[in-house]
Structure 1
Amino acid sequence: MTDKNQKPGETKAALAFPEWATRAAADIADQKSEPGCEAMTRVVETVCKEAPVVYRNEVANRLQDDDSAAHRWYRFVLSFPPHLVRDYLEDFGIENGKIVLDPFCGTGTTIVECQKMGISSIGIEALPMAHFASQVKTDWSPMPRRLLDHAKKIAEKTIAKLEASGIQDIPFFAEQPDETEKLRRLPEDIGTLLLKGSVSPLPMHKTLVLMETIEENRDKRYYEHERLALANALVDDISNLRFGPEIGVGKKKEDAPVVAPWLSRIQAIAEDLEHLPEVNGASTMVHRGDARDVIELLKPNSIDAVFTSPPYPNEKDYTRTTRLETVLLGFVKDKVDLRALKKSLVRSNTRSVYKADDDDAWIENHAEIQRIAGEIEERRIELGKTSGFERLYHRVTKLYFGGMARHLAVLRKALRPGAQLAYVVGDQASYLRVMIRTGQLLADIAESLGYEVDDIDLFRTRLATATKEQLREEVVRLRWPGK
């Protein structure tokens, strides 16, 4: 998409955080008569110098410069790149008038790309934070300048509140109060849902003050975009979280800026809204739901294509990956909510396995899956592994593929004859280094359910943490013949 302010022949570079922050500072500096603007300028300029953004997924799977609009508002670690969606939909011959489904919608890569292409799409996602992100990332209705102006006023009011209590949003040279007992905290029952040390007390206090100010100045035209910007800033700049094979708590930040990183995200959203294409009649819907029960959310014979990436069979707990922003934004309020959320997911890790789970019945006659599960259990016994989670490795393997079989079986009713499907999946060796060829097994299951397997394409390889082997990530291409 060409910037209307771009000079002929000039390539618009991808925006980095310091540039957004500098622009935000300049905008506020132009309005020096407004209260709080000088403090806000100091915050933004300081963050430019000291704390550039590094997105959670940037090293592993960079966005191409031309793809960043809307996608950069919030993404999962290792989300597949937008160009992969375009490549396959173009190969499938999908155009305006067709409907694309992503039943494991995540943070909306497929549906955002469909909206850019003028193609109608439907997303289904069980995780509330990811569902929220997908909804906001496909809402291009806010007026960019008004969104930014509204956010600046919130920033100024938040800075004023903090300064009134002797707190600066600039941790690099300001002395902050020592009385931590005066700082705002989450209620204890809610705080226990978070990984201990996710956010240090002072940044948490600033975050809660900002959240309060957003609520006090709530405008339905901008509210959800402002909250998504906070979720993004929380994870990347404010928190102590680190992302490796699994989420954890890294080096503790005694203090961190809050208002400026949030405002920089608003600046990025506003810039994207300025240049995103008109929707032109394409509809986008995002449902909160279980991918194993898609027919409850879809009309029969309505879907022309599927592009998706389900979870892989490993120990990555996506309810932990998004726990901080999920809790702070109020999507999960207690352990009852958390348990219900886990039960709505395909079982891909042992933290989400429950006694009554029975998806494994779907693959009880699949010899290779049964063999792999048996090998995992034999190796566990051989190695003397006795923890509760380790005892579940063989079971969660069967539950995972059973859940995927259940999903594919139910999905058939929603597909039009000739519908084409692409599932991005990866090999795994997380369970005691027993190799699981996910793509081949998924293709076998689909074929047993009446799908035609067109191909299994190699997408990329990645290094296994445990074995240091290169594991394949593949795109399983299916077709529904309409039997």
Structure 2
Amino acid sequence: MARWTARTSLVHYEDRLPGLGAWSTVGGVAEAPRPPTNGAMNTLLACDAPAHDWYRFVLSFPPHLVRDYAGRFELADDAVVLDPFCGTGTTLVEAKKMGIAGIGVEAMPMAKFAAQVKTDWEPDPDGLANHANLVAEKALASLTADGLSDELGVPTRENQQLRSLDSDAAKLLIKDSISPLPLHKALVLREALDGERAAGFTDHEQLAFARVLPTEVGNLRFGPEVGVGSLRDDAAVVALWLNRVLTIADDLRILGAQERTSAMVVPGDARDVASCVPVESVDAVITSPPYPNEKDYSRTVRLESVLLGYLTDRPSLRSTKRELLRSNTRGVYRDDDDSAWVADDERVQDLATQIEERRIALGKDSGFERMYHRVTKLYFGGMTRHLSSLRDVLRPGARLAYVVGDQASYLRVMIRTGQILADIAERAGYEVEGIDLFRTRPATATRDQLREEVLLLRWPGPRGR
């Protein structure tokens, strides 16, 4: 079995336009810019903000990466791009901007909603702005009736009764995610949104609500771990929200004029992608699956998921997590059996054994630490299952780009994710075209530089199985 090693990206940067940074040239056509330095590689460029910045998952990969690989794959005008780990829709939005049809598969309801809205450029901008102002007026009137103001620093009445979440929903939140007064204002705004629903506008208004909740209204901070920063006693919730809606309206004035290209987001489990995507319908895959680490991706969108009603209690959270690739110990269940897909994979089995032996040698005995070796097998088993299912939806000659990263989260045992997935893909009948170095990033615990890479595959057709 081949051992795939990373190589530097083959994308070249030639033309430079003032104030915009480096432009990549693919086939003689100048493309939109991308950051030239490692530290900025995952940064959202100002020119990419329309639609992408309406709501963005903190661990999203950047739009310029989608442009790079769409260009290298030389996709035809009638091509279809799939993102089976769709998240908040980076691939779909960028494909739509390039005039390429896209399909996304996503299991987390909040992320799926975001991807759907970010690819909907139909609303009338002026109508959206006018409706948002109507909602804002209603919310402000409700706050006034409560004896409150959206302005910062206005004292509340003594013994003021503030709204709160029901106990089941509140238990899902990270402690101190949002302070009492901003929560009250957010619930008032949510009530105004629910009471003034309008086709074509409400979804974009709700996404703007989700966008401001974590760090502008709430107390969450991302670095990239989700945690609680300084507690914010107050926030101008209605003003922050309205400003975001008006930004969306401004973006729609540009995006709405573009040629209509289809973008579809379907709910589903990426490990069973063939159940929700038509057979032999996909020409390219550009995606970034979760990495094997201790990041619980559901926590990253927890506050907005709860306030928009996508998660209401622990059973709803558990149901959502069961549809996700097993990439962390908080998402593992007793009856999980994806590890069976790699029972004969010596490299994965050796890695899991190494992690377990390190745990025993270090005397680590917590419930989570005891599962590290198991989640490693579940992760690569789930990815094996995904790549197997994916074959049915690919057209012969389809090209694939997987953004993956080395990890050392499990007792500092190095997991060379890209190389292991290359071996798995080869056994599944894919041709491995190489592994590009995307960037390096510091490990949280050791500050060692970990490689973030793009695994490049080609599906030759049914005979490759």
Aligned partner of 1:359 among 328, 332, 338: 338
Q: Which residue of 2 aligns with 1:179?
A: 159
For residues 368-379 of structure 1, the aligned pairs below 5 Å read: 368-379=347-358
Question: What amino acid sits opposite 2:86 in the alignment?
Answer: C
Counterparts of 2:155 and 2:426 in 1: how far apart (Å)? 65
Q: Do residues 164 (structure 1) and 145 (structure 2) align? A: yes
Question: What amino acid sits opposite 1:156 in the alignment?
Answer: E
| Conserved? CA contact 2:291–2:404, under 8 Å | yes
**1:245 Cα offset (Å):** 4.2
Aligned partner of 1:477 among 435, 456, 460: 456
Structure 2 unmatched runs, 5+: 1-16, 22-38
Q: Do residues 150 (structure 1) and 131 (structure 2) align? A: yes
Structure 1 unmatched runs, 5+: 1-8, 14-57
Q: Which residue of 2 aligns with 1:269?
A: 248
For residues 89-100 of structure 1, the aligned pairs below 5 Å read: 89-100=70-81
Counterparts of 1:145 and 1:67 in 2: how far apart (Å)? 22
| Secondary structure of 1:410's aligned partner | helix
**1:60 Cα offset (Å):** 8.2
| Conserved? CA contact 2:107–2:269, under 8 Å | yes
Counterparts of 1:320 and 1:364 in 2: how far apart (Å)? 30
Measured against aligned partners, the alpha-carbon deviations of 1:259-300 in whole angstroms (never above 9, x if no partner) come to 111011101101110111545342111001100111111111
What fraction of aligned residue pairs are identical, expressed as a percent? 59
| Secondary structure of 1:70's aligned partner | helix
| Conserved? CA contact 2:322–2:331, under 8 Å | yes
| Conserved? CA contact 1:107–1:131, under 8 Å | yes
Counterparts of 2:174 and 2:215 in 1: how far apart (Å)? 16
Count, aligned residues: 429
Q: Do residues 67 (structure 1) and 52 (structure 2) align? A: no
Instruction: Compare 90-99 and 473-482 and name the one that shifted more.
Output: 90-99
For residues 9-408 of structure 1, the aligned pairs below 5 Å read: 61-172=42-153, 174-180=154-160, 182-276=161-255, 278=257, 280-408=259-387
**1:341 Cα offset (Å):** 0.7
Q: Which residue of 1 aligns with 2:393?
A: 414
For residues 451-462 of structure 1, the aligned pairs below 5 Å read: 451-462=430-441
Counterparts of 1:87 and 1:405 in 2: how far apart (Å)? 26
**1:246 Cα offset (Å):** 2.3
| Conserved? CA contact 2:59–2:224, under 8 Å | no
CA RMSD for the aligned pairs? 1.7
Q: Do residues 425 (structure 1) and 414 (structure 2) align? A: no
Q: Which residue of 1 aligns with 2:413?
A: 434
**1:61 Cα offset (Å):** 3.1
Question: What is the TM-score of this pair, normalised by structure 1?
Answer: 0.86
Q: Do residues 444 (structure 1) and 423 (structure 2) align? A: yes
Counterparts of 2:369 and 2:19 in 1: how far apart (Å)? 52
Measured against aligned partners, the alpha-carbon deviations of 1:291-345 in whole angstroms (never above 9, x if no partner) come to 0111111111111000000000000001111111111101111111111111100
| Conserved? CA contact 1:308–1:424, under 8 Å | yes
Counterparts of 2:409 and 2:52 in 1: how far apart (Å)? 29
Going from structure 1 to structure 2, the CA distance change for 1:387 and 1:11 (only over 3 Å counts) comes to closer
Measured against aligned partners, the alpha-carbon deviations of 1:319-375 in whole angstroms (never above 9, x if no partner) come to 111111111101111111111111100000000111111101111111111111111
| Conserved? CA contact 2:84–2:105, under 8 Å | yes
Instruction: Compare 256-265 and 160-169 and name the one that shifted more.
Output: 160-169
| Conserved? CA contact 1:96–1:282, under 8 Å | no
Question: What is the TM-score of this pair, normalised by structure 2?
Answer: 0.90
Question: What amino acid sits opposite 2:267 in the alignment?
Answer: R
Counterparts of 1:406 and 1:313 in 2: how far apart (Å)? 15
Going from structure 1 to structure 2, the CA distance change for 1:236 and 1:59 (only over 3 Å counts) comes to farther
